[in-house]
Amino acid sequence: MDEGSIATMEQFHGYVKRLSNIFQVSYPVIQVWLPGDNDIGGEHEPIQSDKVKEFEAVFNQPDIITYKNISFFKVNGITYTYPHGTDDDNYKIVVSHYPVLWKTVFGKQVNDAIQPNIYFCAHEHKSQYIIKDKELRNIAGRALQLDDDVLSVGRDGDLYEIYVPTCSYRMGTNRIGYGVATVSNNQLLRYTVLWSPQRFLDLFIYAGILIIFVVYIFVFTLSRLVFRCSPAQRSDATVPLLQIIN
């Protein structure tokens, strides 16, 4: 929720209601809510403890959410908290607002405690992924830009962290979209991005049309005033009156 960390509690609840209305669906779906720095602080301002408690109260969820054969582990890279893993054979997905694996010590703690199959994060507003080994040393990574770009992740022992792009043009990026992933037989994850139309071009066109319209109205109004106030126009206007008097 943009500006949630600096909002009043009344505004905070207004943001929650708006967000819930946007993503309200009529079919069965599991929603996993994660606090970001725009919700509870932690980036350019201190962590707001009251917003942390309010977020947990409003989005009342356990730290581990299981849906069929998939378990989502809610890791908080802002407050450095995480749940521990389970002994089942579910496909384990770590979800966090902040990237986890770039923080060597914290990332190692999370990986040892959960041993997930994949990591998902956000915050950077970019679509990309990184690959690390078990010691969190960089192996590879690149951006996911093309509309048909699909990442396939198997059980090869390496650690993948996928950066999901923002879906809001208010974040100031040209490319916005929704990440989508499928898991097959607890073995293979396939991920891509459903890109949304670019909004800035439309906004610039609207702004240009508005500016042209405002300039036209200004010039038209100014020309009318100048025409009415010109000496020639005033002398012409008195002729019929003088003729009537005579």
pLDDT tens, residue by residue, 145-204? 776 788 999 877 899 999 999 988 777 788 889 999 999 988 899 999 999 887 777 788
Are 121 and 225 found together in one domain? no
Residue 239 above 80 pLDDT?
A: no
Strand-pair partners of 177:
195
What is the total count of domains within the chain? 2
- CA angle (62 as vertex; 56, 68 as ends), nearest 5: 140
Distance CA 60, CA 16 (A): 13
Are 75 and 19 found together in one domain? yes
Are 176 and 214 found together in one domain? no
pLDDT at 197: 82
Range of the domain at 123: 4-195
Could you say which of 155, 173, 195 is where a domain stops? 195
Distance CA 100, CA 126 (A): 15
Are 166 and 207 found together in one domain? no
Are 14 and 117 found together in one domain? yes
Distance CA 125, CA 4 (A): 18
Are 218 and 124 found together in one domain? no
Are 13 and 62 found together in one domain? yes
Alpha-carbon separation of residue 125 from 4, 37, 151, 172, 216 (angstroms):
18, 13, 18, 9, 39
Are 133 and 108 found together in one domain? yes
Are 185 and 215 found together in one domain? no
Are 220 and 182 found together in one domain? no
- Going by C-beta distance under 8 Å and a sequence separation of 6 or more, which residues neighbour residue 229? none
Are 49 and 165 found together in one domain? yes
Binned at pLDDT 50, 70 and 90, residue 242 comes out as: very low
- Whether the Cβ atoms of residue 72 and residue 112 lie closer than 8 Å to each other: no
